């Protein structure tokens, strides 16, 4: 009797262990299966020239809104001046602000996304958040191209004076914060040239390879340029600046309310795209393609 009871106990125990093992294995295979589904889902959303162009169109909204926000403030030049001595931090307020914000955003994982490039990439702290498996679209050699030095210089020396009125209202921290929003939006757009170039290369490798091997920048520039697309971009951003920068009132129609009164000058936005944003995006495309066969 005792033996039978002991046997039953052992069998029950074994059965329990067996069920537990099945449960764990099944759970693991389920997790793996769902992970595979996510990965294959991302794979399905393959990048095409149309999808990258759609992204550039959406990014126009971010850029224009950020410029409108910066235009709320006058120049506020103390934001950019190098103080004679260190005041808790060394250098201009804008450098301090960008450095510190990038540091925090790096910890929060911003620069794990291959679409993001820091202005001060040296000595950034590592991300503290679990990594996300961004689809590996870019070719390794070109992925690290960073033209933010150029963007920084152009933004402060050429762009700001064009669309910001002179004056000082003391809002230096808010000014620095809105500058950073502009810089990040413009930088993301310009570096998106890497994705544009990758898609163009994949669509026609035989067209690009001879120019890449010959390191012929002019030929590459010709191959990747679509003048008609650029003209459309210029017209569209001007129209967006007109619509987004309108003063909205409830007692007049949109067209009545705003003749010539926009938060940012619409033709100027078109000019920013024509003279800086599109040429730099194309510069990034050429640089990326030159490394595409490395």
- Check residue 230 for interaction with ligand ISJ (CB under 6 A): yes
Nearest alpha-carbon partner for 160 in 72, 287, 70? 70
- Cβ atoms of 236 and 243 within 8 Å: the answer is no
DSSP-derived 3-state class of residue 83: coil
Which position has the token pair 């002019």?
A: 218
Give the contact letters, 32-71, x = binds to ligand ISJ (CB under 6 A), - = no. Answer: ---------------------x--x---------------
CB of 195 to ligand ISJ, least distance (A): 9
Considering only residues 170 through 229, tell me which ones interact with ligand ISJ, judged by CB under 6 A. 196, 224-226, 229
Coil vs helix vs strand at 81: coil
The set of residues, in sequence order, having a beta carbon less than 8 Å from that of 64 and lying 6+ positions away, is 237, 240, 241, 244, 245, 264, 269
Q: Find the shortest distance in angstroms from Cβ 152 to ligand ISJ.
A: 19
The distance of closest approach from Cβ of residue 212 to ligand ISJ in the complex, given in angstroms and rounded to an integer, is 17
Helix (H) or strand (E) holding 95: helix 93-107
Taking the complex as a whole, the smallest distance from the CB of residue 199 to ligand ISJ amounts, in Å, to 9
What distance in Å separates the CA atoms of residue 17 and residue 20, rounded to the nearest whole number?
5
Q: Would you mind telling me the total number of residues written for the chain in this entry? A: 294
Q: What is the phi/psi pair of residue 89, to 5°?
A: -145, 160
Binding segment for ligand ISJ (CB under 6 A), chosen from 36-44, 60-68, 103-111, 276-284, is 276-284
Size of the site for ligand ISJ (CB under 6 A): 12
Find the shortest distance in angstroms from Cβ 294 to ligand ISJ. Answer: 22
Which of residues 191, 240, 263, 282 is near ligand ISJ by CB under 6 A?
282
Q: Whose Cβ is closer to ligand ISJ: residue 118's or residue 233's? A: 233
Please report, as ranges, the residues that interact with ligand ISJ according to CB under 6 A: 53, 56, 196, 224-226, 229-230, 233, 278, 281-282
């Amino acid at each position: 009797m005792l033996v039978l009871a002991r046997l039953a106990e052992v069998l029950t125990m074994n059965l329990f262990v067996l069920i537990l093992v099945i449960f764990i294995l099944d759970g693991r295979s389920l997790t793996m299966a769902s992970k595979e589904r996510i990965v294959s889902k991302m794979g399905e959303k393959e990048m095409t020239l149309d999808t990258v162009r759609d992204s550039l169109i959406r990014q126009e909204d971010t850029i224009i809104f950020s410029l409108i926000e910066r235009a709320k403030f006058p120049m506020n030049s103390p934001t950019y001046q190098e103080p004679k001595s260190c005041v808790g931090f060394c250098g201009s307020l804008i450098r301090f602000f960008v450095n510190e914000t990038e540091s925090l955003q790096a910890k929060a994982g911003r620069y794990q996304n291959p679409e993001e490039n820091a202005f001060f990439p040296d000595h950034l702290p590592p991300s503290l958040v679990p990594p996300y498996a961004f689809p590996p679209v870019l070719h390794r050699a070109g992925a690290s191209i960073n033209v933010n030095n150029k963007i920084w210089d152009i933004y402060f020396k050429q762009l700001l004076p064009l669309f910001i009125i002179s004056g000082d209202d003391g809002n230096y921290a808010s000014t620095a914060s809105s500058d950073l929003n502009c810089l990040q939006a413009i930088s993301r757009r310009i570096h998106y040239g890497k994705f544009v170039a990758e898609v163009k290369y994949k669509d026609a490798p035989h067209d690009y390879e001879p120019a890449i091997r010959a390191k012929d920048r002019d030929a590459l520039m010709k191959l990747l340029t679509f003048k008609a697309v650029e003209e459309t971009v210029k017209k569209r951003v001007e129209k967006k600046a007109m619509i987004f920068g309108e003063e909205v009132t409830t007692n007049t129609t949109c067209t009545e309310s705003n003749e010539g009164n926009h938060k940012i000058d619409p033709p100027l936005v078109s000019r920013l795209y024509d003279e800086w944003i599109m040429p730099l995006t194309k510069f990034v495309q050429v640089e990326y393609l030159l490394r595409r066969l490395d």
